[in-house]
Amino acid sequence: MQIKEFQGLISKMYEKRDRERGTAGTFMWFIEEVGELATALAGEDQANKAEEFGDVLAWLCTLANINDVDLESACQKYTKGHLGFK
């Protein structure tokens, strides 16, 4: 699955509710998930780590959706030779 596809899936499932919540409220949910990821990274439970990475990515997509940012396009600077990446 491409980033654009995943972002679109998250949009279809949650965007109406997420836009109603707004950027500030959604950002708080994102930060909560980042905290859960930090806790998981300190542990040994690989399944929990994977789950929390997925949650963080989903909430990042949500933030991008409600701010009209295409994450796949935003990531192109890392695939087009910018910043020392080739």
CATH value at residue 43 = 1.10.287.1080
Mean pLDDT, rounded, for 47-60: 98
Work out how many domains the chain is built from and give that number: 1
Question: Distance between CA 43 and CA 5 in Å, rounded?
Answer: 31
* Mean pLDDT (the chain, rounded): 93
What is the CB neighbour count within 10 angstroms for residue 65? Answer: 21
Question: Distance between CA 57 and CA 75 in Å, rounded?
Answer: 13
The tens digit of pLDDT for each residue in 19-44 reads: 999 999 999 999 999 999 999 999 99
For 63, residues 6+ apart whose C-beta sits below 8 A from its C-beta are: 23, 26, 27, 30, 69
Asked if pLDDT for residue 46 goes beyond 90, the answer is yes
Domain interval for residue 8: 3-84
Q: What is the pTM of this model?
A: 0.88
Question: Which structure tokens are listed for 61?
Answer: 């997509």
The tens digit of pLDDT for each residue in 66-84 reads: 999 999 999 998 887 655 5
Q: What is the SS3 assignment for 80? A: coil
Asked if pLDDT for residue 85 goes beyond 90, the answer is no
